[in-house]
Amino acid sequence: MVKNSSFELQTSFKIDYAPSSIKKWRSSRTGLQVTLVDQESPIVNGYFAVGTEIMNDSGCPHTLEHLIFMGSKKYPYKGLLDTLGNLAFSVTNAWTATDQTVYTLTTAGWEGFRMLLPVYLDHLLYPTITDSACYTEVYHVDGDATDKGVVYSEMQGIENQSYFVEGLETQRALYEKSGYKSETGGLTKNLRTISHESIRKYHADNYRPDNLCIIVSGSVNENELLDVMTEFDSQLEPLPAIPNKRPFIDSEHDDPLFEPVYKTVEFPDEDESASEIQISWIGPDGRDIVMEEAVETLGKYFTDSAVSLFSKNFIEVEHSLATGSEFYSDSYYRTGMNLLFNNVPTSKADALPGKVFKLLRDHCDSAKLDLVRLRDLVERSRRKFVFSAEKSPDSMINMAIFEFTYGPADSSGLKDWLKTLHEYDTIAKWGINQWVDVYKKYFLDNNPCVVVAKPSSKLYSKLKEDNKKLIADRKSRLGEKGLKELVAKLEKAEAENNRPIPKQILDSFGRPDPSHIHFIHTTSVGAGLNKDIKNDLSSDVVKNILADTPENFPLYIHVENIESNFATIHLLFSSFEFEKKYLPYIQVFKNILLSLPIDNEDGTQISYEDVVKQLKRDTIDYSFGISFLGAYGELLDFKITIAVENYKKAIDWFYRIMFKTLFTKDRVLVALDKLVKSIPEIKRSGPTMLYSIINKTSFTDRSLRRAGDAYQQESFLRDLLMKVRDEDGFNSVKKILEDMRAQIFTLRNTRTVLILDSSKIADAVSSWEPFVERIKNGSAGLPLTDLPLTSKVLSPDGMEKRKKCVIITTPGSDSSYMSLETSIPFDYLCDDSFKIILGAEYLQCVEGPFWKAIRGTGLAYGANMSRNVETGKLAFSIYRGADVEKCFDAAKQLINDYASGVTPVDEKMRLGAISSVVNGLTNSQSNYFEAASMKVLDEILARRGPDYNGRLMKELTNISNEDLVHIFKKYFVNVFDPKHSICFISCNPVQGKSVAKHFKDAGYEVTVEQASVDENEEEEEGEESSESEVESKL
């Protein structure tokens, strides 16, 4: 350690409930803070937090989040930080919250992190913030008179979304005195006029050493960390004689509202059937974590699961008033408390808040409040927190950021809030009267702000016309000459930004040794019907598990042995085993399976409410859904996570839910009602609608993922809802659901995956004997079912991937989304597959070709290239595009130039792409559970071998520049050639015609559909309008 360090240790302690220890230092010279969360991991994470309070909606905090990466005084080159990151197995990112901006550095190993840390900090405190960077990154007008800029495009994509509109209205109503009222991302109207000088001034005022905390987690060399920080700190200006104002702490604070506030706001959408409601309060002191946890527990009591107060009264009923409710808190100086109700029928939206408050008043009674459930919720929250803390340091990092922002100057808050779980211990002992007092104080006597956000087709049309007029007026004002000047101005700014980084600078940093990167290793064991694994019989773990396996055990068992106090069990089922005609019912089946009554073997029944309560009491988490980790979308995955002492309880739950649940009319009606009412919200999401048209076009009607698309099944679900209301109709649907259960849940169709510590569960396999005995049926002794490969359900279009361009116009989304796809081999291990991985990463990595040509010019927020071997595709995608036509043209030209040799492959960028792939691999396996899950994917599903990571790293290092050129020619140019590719686009109707024309001119056969209002929606609302009498607002 450097002698005479100005960093003084303020706190040091070991976490009682997780394998972590924490230390924090503060510089006596500058006030710079350093927090270390020491927890073993192959990943080292850095979170560099700046307190950022602002009293307006200019977006200064958000602009700096982007401009920091455009160069520093010491390193005045755009992208140098990210280029070095690519070479050092690192990736950078950042976010802007209401009260802080946090910059992140994620590195595979300490070596690369140590190298980048001082460079990153130099960018934070001494950025260049040039006019050219502000012009391209924040806002500019292009040669077509269209608004562009990376920050602008990002905000344009969310500014008219319902959640954004209601959230901003809530902030402004609750907070008048502090920066909590501000939209730190910046409103688009303000981003058009923000001055570059105001951004520089905001940086000078806020990006100070005493307003910066460096939080580091992972396997870190503590002495080297302090060496780096001491040397950097010695170059900074010392603290001023008069202390600087501390954001939010030294500001005026807002008290809870003097009187209730009720507001109605509109957001643009052609579908006016579904509204959103937000109810918010200013709650307890955010530093009082006991009261914070108590309020959080009450919020879960109101909203969490099918048995919550609001679910039972407003959601889990046939004519529901919403499809879901949610409680979340804002970790501010005083806690912000928020209730959300989703997909509220617009005809009932004004009445719902009154019903909510009446129910809250009626239930705030010691005779009605359920103390047992409150204690269950506290205990489950405790278990989930401990599980999370064991897996990852994220919870400690979040608290470290909060402590920096709001904690006492001596850093004592860190130990008070993190060392133990005393907040759970305290409220777990509360009696009913203490809960009633907190309930009454914060949810009834505390005045709320209620915001009802309603969709408006008039507002949609107005904004559409206003935008047309804005561009027309701009073109008229600028004329052809002015527009050409804008093109020249943008080109000049881009040229200034994209000055090449001198080779000697990059070379001076060197490159970390990849052999120093350590992956987490787990032990795989195959038992029972599992023949996929070659067991290592020299391993004691393997021997013990095999010794525990009953002879001729008729169940497929795969064990991933890890070190943990928790266990995760997956039961995987092929969807090909139930009849094709039942596929449209899969959404109902998967949505109700975990909230049904159970028929006990003694003839008694457990109500669905008690099933949910008991299931939550016994588990950490549970789910039943489509796909495994988002891959292999023709699988069904039933997952339960438990503490090891509840292992046998989990097995019993699997049995009872799979075979003893009852499909009752009321539960089926509730599930269908929620599904139908959720569709308007689905239609407002551009990305969701993009995936919907991909599913519809690329897969056959045998596909589970196509059947699981609510938008594609809208008419069927509406008809089914009407059918089930009739008794005969329900009985026929019940028979179908029973048949599905019988066909899915068989021994031969069950792949059991156990991720656990066998030293803590010695009978991990034999514990399944009772399960097997209870369900032995005709499938026992039959061969294991085949994996349901996605390639078997690809449609002709999904296989050929050529000629078509399918466009869906989505009125609720202002941004555009695109996917261009071409065919690649269905083979993870062929030579081309490894080259495709590297080629895609070369193009899409931060400060790579796509980044500079598309994101850097403000054409889109994200441009990516990815391969999917499961579906045999290589895809170019655009996220939050401002101009998908230009994105297509720019990417096509860029690929063609690489393939033809006009643009040579850069050696440093190739090495950076390799590092980026390795970082992604390591980051996706940063704890035992993630590493074990990836082993399951490698060995059972993809069947690419237990050492796929090692082979991939070896293959990547053998790929040359010439190999990349070859692969660009062979596959990548096809992505932009209509003879060899298929195109999918989701865009706003305003862009629909021009987008369609562009891709037709490019050679595609274009079809356009609109995510329009279903004519039955308004009829159904009309039928129920008699129930929508407006009540007292509060």
Which CATH architecture does the domain made up of 261-393+408-455 adopt? 2-Layer Sandwich (3.30)
- What's residue 1013's pLDDT? 55
Mean pLDDT within 806-832: 94
| 776, pLDDT greater than 80 | no
| 1015, pLDDT greater than 50 | no
Tell me how far apart the alpha carbons of residues 813 and 230 are, in angstroms, rounded to a whole number.
48
Identify residue 235 by its one-letter amino acid code: Q
pLDDT-based confidence at residue 780 (cuts at 50, 70, 90): low
Distance (Å) of CA 593 to CA 350, 667, 669, 1013: 33, 10, 13, 30
Tell me how far apart the alpha carbons of residues 79 and 121 are, in angstroms, rounded to a whole number.
15
- What's residue 1028's pLDDT? 27
Q: Quick check: 575 and 785 in contact, CB under 8 A?
A: no
- What's residue 147's pLDDT? 93
- What's residue 209's pLDDT? 97
Using DSSP bridges, classify how beta strands 212-218 and 33-38 pair: parallel, antiparallel or unpaired: parallel
Tell me how far apart the alpha carbons of residues 717 and 1017 are, in angstroms, rounded to a whole number.
12
Tens digit of pLDDT for each residue in 400-450? 999 999 999 999 999 999 999 999 999 999 999 999 999 999 999 999 999
| 231, pLDDT greater than 60 | yes
Tell me how far apart the alpha carbons of residues 205 and 199 are, in angstroms, rounded to a whole number.
10
Using DSSP bridges, classify how beta strands 605-606 and 598-599 pair: parallel, antiparallel or unpaired: antiparallel
DSSP state of 699: B
Mean pLDDT within 581-597: 96
Considering the domain 801-1003 in this protein, what is its CATH number? 3.30.830.10
Nearest CA to 414 out of 33, 138, 729 is that of: 33
The secondary structure of the chain in percent helix, strand, coil, rounded to multiples of 5, reads: 50, 20, 30
The C-alpha angle 493, 499, 501, rounded to 5 degrees, equals: 150
Identify residue 222 by its one-letter amino acid code: E
- What's residue 1019's pLDDT? 36
Nearest CA to 168 out of 159, 155, 178, 177 is that of: 159
Residue 807 CB partners (closer than 8 Å, separation 6+): 984, 985, 986, 987, 992, 995, 996, 999, 1006, 1007, 1008, 1009
Tell me how far apart the alpha carbons of residues 638 and 573 are, in angstroms, rounded to a whole number.
8
- What's residue 778's pLDDT? 61
Percent of the chain with pLDDT over 70: 97
In 3-state terms, what secondary structure has residue 578?
A: coil
- What's residue 170's pLDDT? 98
DSSP state of 645: G
Tell me how far apart the alpha carbons of residues 876 and 923 are, in angstroms, rounded to a whole number.
23
Residue 21 CB partners (closer than 8 Å, separation 6+): 12, 13, 14, 15, 38
Nearest CA to 609 out of 305, 324, 297 is that of: 305
| 863, pLDDT greater than 60 | yes
- What's residue 966's pLDDT? 97
- What's residue 976's pLDDT? 98
Q: What's the gap between Cα 915 and its chain centre?
A: 24
pTM reported for the whole predicted model: 0.92
Mean pLDDT within 675-701: 93
Tens digit of pLDDT for each residue in 11-53? 999 999 999 999 999 999 999 999 999 999 999 999 999 999 9
| 894, pLDDT greater than 90 | yes
- Ordered by start, the domain boundaries in the chain are 7-242+490-505, 261-393+408-455, 523-791, 801-1003
| 1029, pLDDT greater than 50 | no
Tens digit of pLDDT for each residue in 47-98? 999 999 999 999 999 999 999 999 999 999 998 999 999 889 999 999 999 9
Tens digit of pLDDT for each residue in 702-730? 999 999 888 888 999 999 999 999 999 99
In 3-state terms, what secondary structure has residue 349?
A: coil
Mean pLDDT within 662-680: 94
Mean pLDDT within 115-136: 97
Q: Quick check: 838 and 959 in contact, CB under 8 A?
A: yes
46: its two tokens = 């850095």
Which CATH architecture does the domain made up of 7-242+490-505 adopt? 2-Layer Sandwich (3.30)
Identical fold at 7-242+490-505 and 523-791?
A: yes
Distance (Å) of CA 89 to CA 84, 212, 911, 915: 9, 25, 10, 4
Residue that has been written with the tokens 């909203």 in this structure: 303
pLDDT, mean over the chain: 93
287: its two tokens = 């530093």
- What's residue 1022's pLDDT? 33
Q: Quick check: 946 and 792 in contact, CB under 8 A?
A: no
800: its two tokens = 């050929």
Higher per-residue pLDDT: 503 or 778: 503
Identify residue 284 by its one-letter amino acid code: P
| 944, pLDDT greater than 50 | yes
pLDDT-based confidence at residue 1018 (cuts at 50, 70, 90): very low
pLDDT-based confidence at residue 519 (cuts at 50, 70, 90): confident
How many residues in the chain? 1034
DSSP state of 227: H
Q: Which helix (H) or strand (E) holds 23?
A: strand 21-27
Which CATH architecture does the domain made up of 523-791 adopt? 2-Layer Sandwich (3.30)
Mean pLDDT within 260-289: 96
